[in-house]
Amino acid sequence: MGIIVSKFGGSSTASASHLKRIERLVRASAARRCVVLSAPGIDGDHPEKVTAMLERCWDLRKCPAACESAVSAVVRRFDDICRGLDIPDMTQLAHRTIDRALSVSLPHTLSRGEYLCALVFARYTGLPMVDAADLIAFGSDGALGEDATHRNIRRLKDIEGPVIVPGFYGADPVGRIRILPRNGSDISGALIAAGLDADLYENWSDVPGLMTADPAIVPNARLIPHIGYRQMRALARAGAQVLHPACLDPVAMAGIPTRLRDTAHPDSFGTLIDERCERMIPCVAGQPDAYLPDGRPAAKVTVFGLPGDQVLDAAATLAPLGSIAGKDQTVIYFDQKQYKEALCHLHRELIEARLHK
């Protein structure tokens, strides 16, 4: 394996113990040449994402006392991580960083979670950090500059060993911080993988991989070990939360496989997304807040890899409001109150039956 780009989501960077786990994974393979980090997310001791905390700081910026309290909460979060890693705290640096961002813009403020997380991890590991503002290029209109981004990323090959990069943001020609869509660290990692012509893009999170349905709704959802980019892209757009849709194009176009992996279970295979996997896998994805063309509220459930008539027959007892059958999928609109029941019913009657054949 030549070059692996590894992106770690907020659930993987939530605390010192999580970052220690990442450090072990990075050291375990010399092929992991670039590590892309999200801002610390939610875990058992922290019920809120750092990005949401920073957004509150911005909302309170005109109320000095309340804003100071919100900023201090973010600083304490990073100080807790530093203590757990046994490295000097970053109280003053973190405070100055956030205060300066609040005087600039909302994108600058929101990006500081990734920036500070990467800085902490670089100090803990002794590995070099490259600011995403020097890599991910935006135009003056805020659009992603793909050619400039590619040229910037190619320079990472000149750095010996693993390099740490914060996800989610970049900069425009005059140095203003611009951010990618929420969960944009997925996109950052994919862009870097494509720019480095990596052999593999790893996307680490707190889930085992792509499931046949949302496991929070469908208890017997099953892991899908292999899937093609075409179906994965369709699933992401249909509501599957495991990957941001925009992160698939850079690696798919470059022919780079993506592997979804669970940080807590690094020995598990996860899900490999590869352009060579063209078989449609039976699975369902849902969006609870959707609307019919006539404006009526509904929930949209998309079923993949099964003939449309099977889907409609099996779902008939749920009295869908309406349905549209496509070539590789069937989209069914249900009353929103039936959303969870619809997902479970379709999975039980159709997906499980197909997978057990």
The answer to whether the CB of 331 falls within 8 A of the CB of 300 is yes
> Among 188-192, 247-251, 303-307, which stretch is predicted with the lowest mean pLDDT?
303-307
Task: Judge whether residue 237 has pLDDT over 90.
Answer: no
Q: pLDDT value at position 1?
A: 60
> Among 42-56, 201-215, 229-243, 323-337, which stretch is predicted with the lowest mean pLDDT?
323-337
- Residue 213 neighbours by CB under 8 Å, 6+ apart: 221, 283, 284, 285, 343, 347, 351
Domain at 155, CATH number: 3.40.1160.10
Q: Could you tell me the pLDDT band of residue 320, with boundaries at 50, 70 and 90?
A: confident
Q: Tokens 């793909």 label which residue?
A: 146
Greater model confidence, 245 or 41: 41
Q: pLDDT value at position 282?
A: 86
> Among 84-88, 202-206, 230-234, which stretch is predicted with the lowest mean pLDDT?
230-234
Query: Looking at the structure, do residues 32 and 126 belong to the same domain, yes or no?
Result: yes
How far is the C-alpha of 180 from the C-alpha of 186, rounded, in Å? 10
Over residues 325-354, mean pLDDT: 82
Domain that holds residue 294: 283-355
Q: pLDDT value at position 357?
A: 55
What integer best gives the mean pLDDT of the chain?
91
Q: How long is the chain?
A: 357
Last-in-domain residue among 154, 178, 206: 206
CA distances to 14, 56, 177 from 108, rounded to whole Å, are 21, 14, 5
Query: Looking at the structure, do residues 49 and 144 belong to the same domain, yes or no?
Result: yes
For 196-232, letters b (16+ CB in 10 Å) and e give: bebebbbbbbbbbbbbbbbeebbeebbbbebbbbbbb
Over residues 40-69, mean pLDDT: 96
Count: domains in the chain: 2
Domain at 299, CATH number: 3.30.70
How far is the C-alpha of 54 from the C-alpha of 117, rounded, in Å? 13
Last-in-domain residue among 179, 206, 233: 206
Q: pLDDT value at position 317?
A: 61
Q: pLDDT value at position 293?
A: 77
Geometric angle at alpha carbon 6, from 100 and 54, rounded to 5°: 25
Last-in-domain residue among 206, 238, 253: 206
Query: Looking at the structure, do residues 190 and 302 belong to the same domain, yes or no?
Result: no
